[in-house]
C-alpha cells in the first residue's frame, strides 16, 4: 500500500489517504537500458518537498532527492556542507508525497567515503528513516568496492561519474570533463567500474557528448545524462533550474518555464491588494449570519 494525498477542503491541508498503486522498482529501472536505440528513456527530476513530489511523481520514473538542495533550498555555496540529517528529512518528505516513482536519495559528502562500513551505516539510516528505494553515491573506481558492498547487502546504489559536485575542490570548479585524453579515459573507467560493482543506474554529468555516448554503450546499466547526451538512457535536471526559478543556470539546462517572474508578479499583485485594502475582500472574510 502506497500513500498519495488529497486536499481536505475544511483545512486546506494535505492529508495522507491510502491509494493502492504499485511503485516502479529498482529492477524495473535497470531493465530500461536502451543504448540510445528505441525504448523509452528514463525521466528523472529532483524533488525536495512533499508538494513538489506530488506534482512530479505521475510524470517521472525516478525522483532524486539531490544534495543540490544545499544550494536550491538552503542557499549554500556548494553541496559540501549538506548533512545526512538534511538528506533524510527531505527524503522522507518526498517518499510521503509520491506513490509511483523510485525515490533515490543522495548520500552527502562525508557520509560514505571513509570505508564500506561507514557507507552502509549512513545508507541504512537513509533507507530506514526515509522509506526510499535507493541511494546515490558520487565517485568512480575509488568507490566501486563500496558500491559492491552496499549492493550485496540489499541497498540499491545509483552511481554518479564525470563532473561530481562533491569533488569540486579537486576538480577546480564545475568544469566539463573529458576534454583531454586522460579525463576522457577516467570517465569511461569510472563508469565501467561502478557498473561492474552492481549499480542499477549511473548518472553521467558534465562530460563531452562523445564520451557520454561511449560510456553509455560501455555499461550494462542505464545511464542518466545531465549535461551529457540525448543518447543516454534517461535524463535528469534540477527541478528549480528547469522551471526558471534562478536566473543563472548551467549551460545544459533548458528552462521550460519562468516561474520566478510569474511568482514575483503574483506577489506584486498581492502586495498591491493589501496596501489598497482590496484584499481581503468579502469572499475571504467571515461574515455574521
Total structural domains in the chain? 1
Taking residues 99-116, what's their average pLDDT? 97
- Residue 198 grid cell: 552492481
Cell of 177: 570533463
pLDDT number for residue 224:
98
Residue 2 lies in a domain: no
Look at residue 1 in the predicted model and tell me its pLDDT.
37
Question: Do residues 159 and 112 touch, judged by C-beta distance below 8 A?
Answer: no
Candidate list 145, 205, 264, 272, residue with the active-site label: 205
Task: In whole angstroms, give the CA distance from residue 236 to residue 238.
Answer: 7
In this model, does residue 279 exceed pLDDT 60?
Answer: yes
**CATH number of the domain that residue 199 is part of:** 3.20.20.60
Which are the contacts of 104, defined by CB distance < 8 A and separation ≥ 6? Answer: 62, 63, 64, 65, 132, 133, 134, 135, 136, 158
Domain for residue 254, yes or no?
Answer: yes
Binding residues: 67-68, 106, 136, 138
Smallest Cα–Cα separation from 234: which of 16, 68, 61? 61
Annotated binding site for 3-methyl-2-oxobutanoate: 67-68, 106, 136
Would you list which residues are annotated within the binding site for Mg(2+)? 67, 106, 138
Q: What is the pLDDT of residues 172-213, one digit of tens each?
A: 556 687 688 999 999 999 999 999 999 999 999 999 999 999
Structural domain including 33 reads 27-284
Name the least confident of 3-12, 113-122, 222-231, 278-287: 3-12
With respect to residue 148, please indicate whether it lies within any of the assigned structural domains: yes
* Confidence (pTM): 0.90
Catalytic (active site) residue 209: no
Amino acid at each position: 500500500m502506497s500513500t498519495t494525498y488529497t486536499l481536505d477542503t475544511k483545512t486546506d491541508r494535505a492529508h495522507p489517504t491510502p491509494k493502492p498503486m504499485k511503485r516502479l522498482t529498482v529492477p524495473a529501472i535497470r531493465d530500461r537500458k536502451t543504448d540510445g536505440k528505441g525504448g523509452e528513456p528514463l525521466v528523472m527530476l529532483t524533488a525536495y518537498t512533499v508538494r513538489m513530489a506530488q506534482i512530479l511523481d505521475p510524470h517521472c520514473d525516478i525522483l532524486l532527492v539531490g544534495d543540490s538542495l544545499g544550494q536550491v533550498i538552503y542557499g549554500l555555496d556548494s553541496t559540501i556542507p549538506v548533512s545526512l540529517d538534511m538528506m533524510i528529512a527531505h527524503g522522507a518528505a518526498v517518499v510521503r508525497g509520491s506513490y509511483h516513482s523510485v525515490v533515490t536519495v543522495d548520500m552527502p559528502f562525508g557520509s560514505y567515503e571513509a570505508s564500506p562500513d561507514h557507507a552502509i551505516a549512513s545508507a541504512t539510516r537513509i533507507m530506514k528513516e526515509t522509506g526510499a528505494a535507493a541511494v546515490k553515491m558520487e565517485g568512480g573506481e575509488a568507490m566501486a568496492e563500496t558500491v559492491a558492498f552496499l549492493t550485496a547487502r540489499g541497498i540499491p546504489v545509483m552511481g554518479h561519474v564525470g563532473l561530481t559536485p562533491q569533488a569540486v575542490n579537486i576538480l577546480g570548479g564545475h568544469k566539463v570533463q573529458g576534454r583531454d585524453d586522460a579525463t576522457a579515459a577516467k570517465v569511461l573507467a569510472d563508469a565501467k567500474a561502478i557498473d561492474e560493482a552492481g549499480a542499477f543506474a549511473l548518472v553521467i554529468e558534465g562530460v563531452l557528448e562523445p564520451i557520454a555516448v561511449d560510456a553509455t554503450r560501455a555499461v550494462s546499466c542505464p545511464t542518466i545524462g545531465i549535461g551529457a547526451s540525448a543518447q543516454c538512457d534517461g535524463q535528469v535536471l534540477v527541478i528549480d533550474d528547469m522551471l526558471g526559478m534562478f536566473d543563472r543556470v548551467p549551460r545544459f539546462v533548458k528552462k521550460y518555464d519562468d516561474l520566478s517572474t510569474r511568482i514575483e508578479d503574483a506577489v506584486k499583485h498581492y502586495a498591491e491588494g493589501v496596501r489598497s485594502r482590496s484584499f481581503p475582500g468579502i469572499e475571504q472574510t467571515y461574515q455574521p449570519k
